[in-house]
Structure 1
Amino acid sequence: MEIFIKASQFILSLSLLIVLHELGHFIPAKLFKTRVEKFYLFFDYKFSILKKKIGGTEYGIGWIPLGGYVKISGMIDESMDTEQMNQPAQPWEFRSKPAWQRLIIMLGGIVVNFILGFVIYILMLFTWGESYLPNNNVTDGIWATDSLALEIGLKTGDKIIAVDGNDIRSFSSITGEFINGNEFTIERDGEIIQQEIPVDFISQLVGKEKGAGPFLTVRYPYIIGAFSETSINKESGLKIKDLVVAINGQPVKYFDEAKELLANSPTKAVVLSVKRNEQLLEIPVQLDAEGMIGVSFAPLSYDDLQKLGYYELETISYTLLEAIPAGTKKGYNTLVSYVKQLKKVFNPETGAYKGLGGFISIGSIFPSTWSWQAFWSITAFLSIMLGVMNLLPIPALDGGHVVFTLYEMITGKKPSDKFLEYAQITGFVILMALLLFANANDVVKLFR
């Protein structure tokens, strides 16, 4: 059921983005009296699932869910209709239109993607507002949860102040800031320390074992979440949701503190002080050979942590007029962040190419339960991502056509149809190679 819900959100989001992107090409083409032969969601190689011709344009749904397209008369595109290009140019064809009109037609889909992403962020802030954990409210520092955090110079209790000199506003943004950044600033025991982020940080992050969790997080209280199958303390009197506040009389606030005390205990018998329904109970437990009591701590949301008094969240409501600049800024920051990530993908030293993902990776970012807030947030990000990707100067993408058109406008020389045909084939091969690589990465991750 979870897979079905994820897949449903993914398909709905992808379909919406494709239709609106192609509409961005379709509308200016029609305005400039250019004939549009086909408007398709997904590709219809050999046959289509559904099609209907209206006013000279065939609208349909293909069977290959790798994108969509509009077939514009007199344009070398995905259809590779070279037969039409061998005929004399007609007034209604793309190739007969002035360069500035062709440029607008090609940029239309990209512009729609950017506008859509920004509009979604604006409406989201107006509808749901914004709730986040301010980084300044994490007063006792981070929990360095695995070896990667330690390797780059972090320790539990460090307060992350800035990345590349930019203050961290939201704690949840730290991982993204590290991905895009080059150095970070921390406060440790009252001392300000600057450390470089390794150039291959993304490669190390991607290489973490599946299910290993984030490389750092907030510090959590030790609330009993579950007993392991081999736990020797199932009958000790401990219960799920008990909050551990002391070990052998020594106060503990966080799980990492409790874990360290238990691991360094000189005896195998310890006494836990736990809170249960406002009662303070003393419960003796036994440690196993590894200094553990055989229980896991309960995963808690930020809302749960706020109710327990550990952290204070910031909640902001927006009027529509307030949401416009706030949503625009959020869209701009998303755009800048994605461009930075893309730059690192094209730098082999970063190893970021290992993180390229295909349909499985994209589908997996949707939640396993239906959430309109999450759906629109992911759709806004994907829309901006799609706009950036289509702007790349690869011949088979909109960006490639834009480059050739700009060249024509600057030099006054139009590339030949044969050149454009070969460029389209080359671009298509590059895209298919990238698509195969990204989806192969997904398969490798599944089996790792």
Structure 2
Amino acid sequence: MHVIVLGAGVTGITTAWYLRAAGHEVTVLERQPAAGLETSYANGGQISVSHAEPWANPGAPLKVLKWLMKEDAPLLFRLRADAAQWRWGLQFLRECTPGRTAHNIRNIVSLGLYSRAKLQSLRQELGLQYDQRSQGILHFYTSEAEFEAAQEPARIMREQGCELDMKTPDDCVAIEPALAQCRGKIVGGSMTPSDESGDAHAFTQALAARCAAAGVRFEYETRILGLEQGRQGVERVIVANAAGVVSRRSADRIVLCMGSFSRQLARELGVSLNIYPAKGYSVTLPVIAPAHSYQVSLTDDEYKLVFSRLGDRLRIAGTAELNGYSTELNLVRCEAIVRRTRELFPHMTDGQGAQYWTGLRPATPSNLPYIGASKVAGLYLNTGHGTLGWTHACGSGAAIADIVSGRQPALDYAFTAATCRPRQLQAVAA
């Protein structure tokens, strides 16, 4: 079959790779001049199965209220006259019950474990290099209340097969000596030794090159204007090239991997996706004090920040701002990340040379992405990965390639059914 993939972020590129490996003719359409230039460009860098507790959890509603007027809050709702935002927010509140949270954690862990294994296999097969590190991820806590609240989610993750051990403050410093700079603030931690980190942008571009070498066709600087249906369902994509010339591309199957922009395109066909952009920020700093710089990837759970070492760069990323589709940098939020970094690691950086970035992460209220067939024949979904697009990209790409090919994916996950509502599939042997 000829399959068109819409979008060349990390999710679109992994989708293209696995579809091509399954024997399909594949074309990727992307509005940017190269792969991985939007949300995949400068994210936190973590392949984090242990980052499975969704934003929507029993403690979230009170936190959101407390953070409403705080410009530098970890999760900031900017209330707008926007029906999509309010619909998303109401469903977010419904996902905050203990039962829904536990259900979502289990599915996020299942997808994460599968995806990490697929990434490791792909890296070994292709010899990909992207400043990867396989030293695990250490979550540390500077609030007793946050540390206590982390115990139950950690128990659920362990039940699902995530290797996660609780640690004392001294254990945390032993794992990452750079934390000695803030030893007095740390009340505990958890370690997932099998988690990883790496540069998602470098990975995406490297895999895109392998896709092209394997026969995948790329059309960059191509805007996607709409989809057309025929007798067999969705059959054509309406596009405009860099010169503005409009044309059509035909395919047997189309996979929607357009991140935060998936909702609008799907809505034209009557497919409702509850995706809203969660604007995330990152700061990239040069390593100027190697002896005081972290090596192990870290998560500051109280402030919702992640820290990754990418060669001679330090990447710090996090926070979420629900404020429409603007990608304008908010310097208050950027500077808050640097300020927290300097509080934790006063000898590591002076803040000079900071490179700020923001991207729109396609968030669902539950943190579960849409992976599967839509209710419209010929249209498939691989979108809505929120903060875990890099973590879940390889598993999602492999799963949607199986689904498009008529196979049941080798993983236990609440896949999208024909009505775009989750249904549980049983695990099968990989």
Query: Under a length normalisation based on structure 1, what TM-score does the superposition of the two structures give?
Result: 0.23
Question: Whose radius of gyration is greater, 1 or 2?
Answer: 1
Q: Which structure carries more strand by proportion? A: 2
Larger relative CO (CA 8 A, sep 6+): 1 or 2? 2
Q: Which has the higher helix share?
A: 1
